[in-house]
């Protein structure tokens, strides 16, 4: 592996998020001996990115549908980082090659039915080879997944098993055309119904009716007694909760369980005044939007009016954006701990780029410290594949990330 020409290849580097990963990587690796290159399908665009950012790296070219060309890139690197999405359209050949060449992989997908296909096709092989295939290393689902992991382990250090973790999000930022394209592609596929399965990403197992009830997605706003304010279902919950449940299931398989009958949910939190009204308005708006997206004719009417792939929020919006993810963990004896992850910058761009690049750097620079040691592999999650190493790197990169006993 160390004989390969590159430590990391950034694929999809000409995209809206891709360009920002190049910028971040150039800054973070300036004084480090990291060998990296940028890649994608269009040489001209990639060279323009390289020039605009002023970085001296090689440009590698492969269309994501050309398996041979993708193989040639993947065989040259220890880690592949990709931002080329919709991932269900542009990610298959990359993951296939990563598993074959034992190249670690990170991305920022939130397309859970696609991740399910990766688990079915590649988990066993990657697990036996020690290859880490880690989707969801962006805003979906690092705060939920890593935050939960830290809260659970904090409770366990106090000598208590964890019963529940609930995450409460607040965020401000913009929307990328690429993110919309991924959402619309999901509705265009025949897989959108799978999204509602609370255990979509779990290793297969029989669920009791009680387990299904406890893990059902919340549908309506409610008054939260822990926070003393109104909350609404979080629109990324159908992605993040599945990732957290996969982490919980994998740690259980490795004899490091979160807790018996552990449950996880997440919400959007609203401050007064009008917290009830805001929570109700957001829930209603989301239900209406989902209803529209489920109708193909309405979807095609809406599509041209929305931001297109390649576009995203202004620099000002991305700089002024922020997010906060507050996590309350409750132990089996009722004791509670509070986790908080927050950062300045648009969650879908600035924070996502930080999460993703630091995930790749964890794999490159701290391989031996990763959870499970060097031999761990499979289709993993941020918590199972990167764990404390990623948490510490994010802190060093300026993100607040803390857990305290209440």
Q: Applying CB under 6 A, which of residues 77, 83, 163, 241 lies at the interface with ligand NAP?
A: 83
Q: Applying CB under 6 A, which of residues 140, 145, 224, 266 lies at the interface with ligand NAP?
A: 140
Nearer to ligand NAP by C-beta: 85 or 372?
Answer: 85
Q: What are phi and psi of 216, to 5 degrees?
A: -65, 145
Contact 106, 88 (CB under 8 A): no
**Distance in angstroms (rounded) separating the CA atoms of residues 226 and 284:** 24
Q: What pairing do the DSSP bridges indicate for beta strands 132-134 and 104-107?
A: parallel
By CB under 6 A, residue 182 contacts ligand NAP: yes
Q: What are phi and psi of 55, to 5 degrees?
A: -125, 145
**Distance in angstroms (rounded) separating the CA atoms of residues 69 and 61:** 8
Count of chain residues binding ligand NAP (CB under 6 A): 34
Residues 110-129 touching ligand NAP, rule: CB under 6 A, are: 110
**Distance in angstroms (rounded) separating the CA atoms of residues 336 and 165:** 10
By CB under 6 A, residue 4 contacts ligand NAP: no
By CB under 6 A, residue 377 contacts ligand NAP: no
Side-by-side strand order, sheet with 104-107: 58-61, 36-40, 6-11, 77-82, 104-107, 132-134, 378-379
Q: Applying CB under 6 A, which of residues 130, 257, 281, 309 lies at the interface with ligand NAP?
A: 309
Residues 52-71 touching ligand NAP, rule: CB under 6 A, are: 63-65
Q: Applying CB under 6 A, which of residues 4, 26, 34, 42 lies at the interface with ligand NAP?
A: 42
**Distance in angstroms (rounded) separating the CA atoms of residues 125 and 277:** 50
Burial class (CB in 10 A: 0-12, 13-18, 19+), 204: exposed
Least distance between ligand NAP and beta carbon 318 (Å): 11
Nearer to ligand NAP by C-beta: 32 or 43?
Answer: 43
Nearer to ligand NAP by C-beta: 92 or 283?
Answer: 92
Q: Which stretch binds ligand NAP (CB under 6 A): 30-38, 82-90, 190-198, 203-211?
A: 82-90
* Site residues, ligand NAP (CB under 6 A): 12, 14-18, 40-42, 45, 63-65, 83-87, 90, 108, 110, 138-140, 176-179, 182, 309-310, 312, 348, 352
């Amino acid at each position: 592996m160390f004989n390969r020409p590159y430590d990391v290849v950034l694929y999809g580097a000409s995209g809206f998020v891709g360009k920002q990963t190049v910028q971040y990587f150039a800054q973070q690796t300036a004084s480090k001996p990291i060998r990296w290159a940028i890649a994608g399908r269009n040489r001209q665009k990639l060279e323009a990115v390289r020039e605009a950012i002023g970085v001296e790296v090689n440009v590698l070219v492969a269309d994501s549908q050309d398996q041979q060309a993708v193989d040639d890139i993947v065989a040259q690197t220890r880690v592949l980082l990709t931002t080329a999405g919709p991932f269900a359209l542009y990610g298959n050949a990359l993951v296939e090659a990563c598993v074959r060449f034992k190249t670690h992989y990170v991305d920022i997908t939130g397309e859970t039915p696609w991740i399910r296909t990766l688990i079915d096709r590649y988990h066993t092989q990657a697990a036996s080879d020690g290859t880490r295939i880690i989707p969801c290393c962006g805003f979906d689902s690092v705060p939920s997944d890593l935050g939960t992991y830290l809260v659970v382990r904090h409770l366990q250090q106090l000598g208590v098993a964890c019963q529940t973790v609930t995450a409460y999000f607040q965020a401000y930022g913009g929307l990328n055309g690429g993110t919309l394209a991924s959402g619309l592609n999901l509705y265009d596929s025949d897989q959108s119904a799978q999204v509602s399965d609370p255990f979509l990403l779990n290793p297969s197992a029989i669920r009791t009716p009680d387990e299904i009830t406890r893990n059902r997605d919340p549908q309506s706003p409610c008054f939260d007694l822990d926070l003393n304010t109104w909350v609404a279902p979080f629109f990324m919950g159908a992605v993040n909760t599945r990732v957290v449940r996969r982490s919980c299931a994998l740690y259980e398989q490795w004899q490091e369980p979160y807790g018996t009958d552990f449950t996880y949910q997440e919400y959007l939190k609203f401050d007064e005044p009008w917290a009830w009204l805001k929570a109700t308005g957001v829930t209603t708006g989301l239900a209406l939007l989902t209803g529209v997206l489920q109708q193909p004719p309405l979807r095609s009417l809406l599509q041209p009016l929305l931001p297109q792939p390649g576009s995203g929020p202004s620099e000002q919006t991305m700089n002024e954006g922020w997010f906060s993810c507050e996590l309350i963990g409750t132990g089996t004896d009722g004791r509670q701990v509070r986790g908080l992850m927050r950062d300045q910058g648009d969650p879908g761009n600035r924070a996502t780029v930080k999460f993703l690049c630091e995930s790749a750097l964890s794999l490159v620079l701290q391989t031996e410290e990763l959870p499970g040691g060097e031999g761990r592999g499979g289709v993993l999650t941020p918590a199972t594949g990167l764990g404390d190493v990623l948490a510490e790197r994010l802190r060093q990169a300026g993100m607040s990330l803390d857990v305290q006993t209440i």
